[in-house]
Structure 1
Amino acid sequence: MRRDSSLRASPFPCQPQTPCYTWWQWAEGHMADFFISYTYTDLEWARWVDFVLREAGYDTVIQEYDFRGNFITEMDKAVDECDYTLALLSPKYRASVNCQREWSAALAADPDKPQGKLLPLRVVEMEVTGLLGPIIWHDLATAPNDRDAERRLFEAIKGKVRPSTRPAFPGRGRNIPAFPGGRPAISNLGPRNPHFVGRVQLLERLDRQLKEGAVALTALAGLGGIISNLGPRNPHFVGRVQLLERLDRQLKEGAVALTALAGLGGIGKSQTAQHYAHSRTGLEIVWWLRAERLETMLGDLAELARRLGVAPEGHDLQQRARAALDELARRDSWLLVYDNAEDEDSVRDWLPQGGGAVIITSRESHWGRIPLLEVDKLARAESVELLLDLSGDTDTAAAAALAHDLDDLPLALEQAAAFAKVAGWTLARYGEEFTQAHARLLQQGKPVDYPATVATTWDISVRRVEEHNPAAAQLLTLCAFLAADDIPLDLLRPAAHRLPSPLAEVLADPVDTAQAVAELARQSLVKAKHGMLSLHRLVQLVQRNRLSEDECRDWTARAFSAVYLVYEFKENDLTTWEAAGLLLPHAEAVAGRAETAEVEWRATSWLLDKAGECLIKDGLYERAIDLRRRALSLAETKLPADDPPVATLLNNLAIAHYHAEQWAEALPLLRRALAIYEAQYGPDRHEVAATLGNLAMVYLKLGDLPEAHKLTEQALTIGEAHFGLDHPTVAVRLGNFANSLDDMGKPAEAEPLQRRALEILIAHFGEVHPLVAGSRHNLAMTLTDLGRLEEAREMMGKALSIRQTLLAADHPLTILARGLLAEIDARIARRGGASS
């Protein structure tokens, strides 16, 4: 039986903020050597000190580059976790309340030292009085040149060493009082309508059906009696008669009620599918799925499960999506539309069975055995009808001329008519402007094809946005460098200051942001829903193509900085999971662009590695390997081969290979990482211990039990000396040491160690946590080896319950626990049969 000997990541360097001054900082109890405390008027001094120290090989933390969230929280963390605080003394510094908090906290941080962790550096000539007066300070202000200033700086820090023991954790969190009135209602209902009248009998019947029926689900006949999330029917839809007839025939008469609509982006695939869905009669369920990304497709399936009343309890998206498909398999008279699917592989595993019908829309034209209908441009008469209908113009000749210029592309026709109507232009005037814009586009060397035509239409729209709301135009450009769907502007708000003005000021304010989004939406450039912003990929392409090479590089760096600054994922901190999941596609997008543009290489390496960690949590190991391999490659091209950050990335790539059960690939990476750490730090550092523990787990999988046992014991010994006996890192290593004992045939010795590890983890994280699930899993294996199957079943059941709460139903660890639980049940059954 397989146990869960999951590798634990070694401390990963904290994120750098700019390519000039940034470096790596370590996570476990030691953030950096020096926290530089300064007021903004002394920023140039702070940058100089930061650069000089980093150039000399020290780790530093500075507000400008490293503070990522709440200032007070970041300040407290920096003072607490950095070895020393360098206070840059000036009159403005003395007058600053925040600076006073920083130096006073540093002064009190280490009671065994006369001036705690505080090292004052005078950067402006002034008299140092008050509480700072008696403290030894060093003078940079009177240094005649930078060399002398460097000499004075290094004299100030000379002989300073890190504390020999880890600082105590300041607390275990707040105790939040219980709600005094019991559990409050959870609702997103708007206010009660004070003017509602009548409907007494209808309300009584509705209440009775919901309370007494076998299923609390009722459809109101006035809504058509179907379950649907279709948007409103497009009153301006024209033509497509033959295409709709062929689609209907294939779905009703074919051996498989499944058809893909394929064609160029903006050609009208989605509008055709929506019109068909509205026109088809006799259906009980009509459901639209945003299939461009797996997350949105599963989210829409999960919402269908909720509407059908079959959504399982818990927070697992894939489990809820699968419940919807299972329910559809038991029904007929339904239609699902998978809109904007990338390819067959992206939807194959999420297609329903049963007596319904499926339409897939996609730009992809190769769909294997799935019947395919090609969607072409509109006929000229249909284009003219659409332009006249949308614009309100009556000039048929101008509409025909414009339709010719736009090549009958539905998206371009709709854009042009919408702009003409809003601007108060005739179609003839629009045609004149289009001719001028198109000529300019040709002069820039762009081909006269579909992207160019759409680019010209959007260029006019963007110029109008630039006139009315320059920040909205900048927002559109920012979005062009992110993933196309579900851009969470609220999550990007803390990074607003990293963006150019006026976007920085607008994004910092929710109301101003909403106005900018509305301006873009009015021009049909974006779609906003539930706080998320989405735009077509062609809009992104066109917007990027509008920029010069230098501008494109600048916006690549800005978009990267915005995502990088707010992206935070910690496997052991469940509060980071949701936001990291929403930002994950954008992190991958900006990191990929940053790689291509060769900007922010250190930060790009960090973001790729961190996104890989999130993918490991989701069980997407091959994608994690790809990202972490790229992260390592970036570092190896810039850093010496024996640099500790390279070792960290080697370790983390090995972890991804380990989860993918590629143990032979993980082994040389870990050996190389260990050699670097031991050469740089000696044998007793916690980085060395983490790598030893990871190596041990690989040896365990490769069958070298004596070596695995030896290394787990070494890792545990170093961990206990570094962290103490009750630290969760020690608990993980204790559990792995117990695993090695169990695998060597000593389950009786392993059991008490497993239980001790579990106690530490529950005390630190609570019951619902992935590490607790892993510890229960391993203890269940040990109990199984001891023949105590009922206890093992209970323990594995709890591990499975945690994983079903936190992870997807088809996550490898969930599947593993489910399979092992079934195997334990089978053993219990066999033992009972043998006894009887």
Structure 2
Amino acid sequence: MTGSKEQGPGRARLRPRALIWIVVVVSLVLLAAGLVGFFADPLHLPAEVLDVLDKRASVISMFVGIAGLLVTGAALWAQLRSPASSPTSTVSSSGPSSPATGGSVSGGLVGQITGGFVGSVGGVHLPPRPPVNARPVRLAPRPPWLAGRDHTLAEVHARLTASPEQPCLLAIHGLGGVGKTSLAVEYGHRYQHEYELVWQLPAEDSAVLSAALADLAAMLGMRQPGETADPVHQVHAVLAAHPGRWLLIFDNAPDADAARTFLPPAGNGHVLVTSRSANWPTRHGLELPVLDGDPAAAFLLERSGQDDTAAAAAVVTELGALPLALEQAGAYIAGTGTTLAGYLHLLRRQRTELLDQGHPWGYSERVASTWRLAFDHLDETTPQAIALLQLLACYAPEAIPYQLLLAPLDHSNPRNMLDGGDHGIAELLALPHGDLAINAAIEALRRYSLINRPSDGSVSVHRLVQAVTLDQLNPSQRAAWQHAATALLEAALPDTPEQPDTWPRFAQLLPHARTVLPLTSPILRTVAQYLGQSGDYRTATTLTREIHHALEASLGAEHPDTLVARDDLAIWTGEAGDAAAARDQLTTLLSINEHVLGAEHPQTLFHRDVLAYWTGEAGDAAAARDQLTTLLSINEHVLGAEHPDTLHVRQHQVYWANRASRGR
């Protein structure tokens, strides 16, 4: 402190010293007078002097002088023994004084740290320290690798500097391990030249946060040892009055409610908050996504010191481009000397164990444990939310239509949705029912950013959150949840793939059907039919081929379900543009159908009709006409002349007869 505020304590220290010296002078005068009177006779002084100096009075004066000297010595000794009483360190040459002492707040935060209470060393009491130039900065070490975040850092800077609000608040929220703290710390380092104070505070626990603010208050000269004033109010008072710009980083705040009391209400500054909670006002929130594929792969190559770009891209895909997982993978590879391809192999075979290995720089936890606390808390407080997360973990990670999937629970008995038995019934009953319960569960999951922001009744879940969620279950529990997920999906899928008005729902559920339905499921054939009916012949061909191979492996080449799948495969092959291949496949299959099902079986008759069609499309209209002529007589014999299938075959026969007659 300077000016008049510095002179006040100086005068207070001068008054007791002046009194001491006055007493010393008076005592010496009295002592001298007493000595002169006592030795007057031996000195043969004149009679006049003897009359003035009375021996008794002189003796009394002498003893008074001696007593005065003793008192003076005691006071001086006490003065030397007392410790310095100046306040603790004060930031800047004109730093703020404590409101508790009635001082005023003025000046800047960048300047000198002047002396304060030091204490004693070996019984020697030290004087106040001399002033030193300083600027209050407390930040974690700068992240050595921060890939793909330059655009986000620029956005953070733009939002903070362009906002008319003072102070300006921005909460960076997102999934645990997405790099929120690294981004905030990098921002502090990159832009610290624009601030007079930059201070990072641990905000996860309110008691720890209060202690950290007390440290800041002491650094700002607002707090003495043993002081009981509220450090939050002290820091707020300094920041509100300070004209220069400052930056506070509240790291890992549980949510907006927990942080609100500690946020500065006024001042020319910026406040960055990192939090897993997504429940922040939109204008104050910035959701941090995972990395894009290219910068994620580039980071992994640099971190691991390798150059296998294909393996790096594959690892990024497996890990969902989550920065924590990538850092952990890079640390493991660098530490063990394995290759990226070797890590990928381990990841696919021993994911659970591998996600608990490696020492990620800048993170306090690994992937396997980073969400465990959130899972445990949800399990205790909102069990329907953790049940919903376990269900969502069974589907594809992107755009899970949870409202559509949960809708059957409102009007169907869960037992009727299962294919016999009670396997999965407990899981269906544990899920939220009704809009209010579903919304509460979604909000609870968003509190920890375990799901992305809902949109049109759908949410996305990071693939590693899904993996860790399922890895916490034993095999029986995992199978039960997968059974429940299958039952809900089958209940939500339409059974009329040929109707265009059902195609939007099929499109919504397609990736999740591919994830949860086994290839041998009859429902998956319905999905393949939707793909073909809606014109996606290539995908229909690919899926039907997979279904056929699975059925052939599990049921045998001549099982009726396998033969149906083989028929479907030929049809979609033809629709995809290869009529000759379709014709050849159907020709081979005809003899098998006749052998297994019989020449007059409805499936065999249908097969003959399809074979004739693709024979004609392959360029042989006459052969198609002849095949249909033979089929027409069989249908009339088996089904009757007026049966719809017979009429259908007759119509086809006329069509190909006409084309054959025209030479087409």
TM-score by length of 2: 0.46
Ranked by relative contact order (alpha carbons within 8 Å, sequence separation 6 or more), the top structure is 1
Structure with higher Rg: it is 2
TM-score by length of 1: 0.37
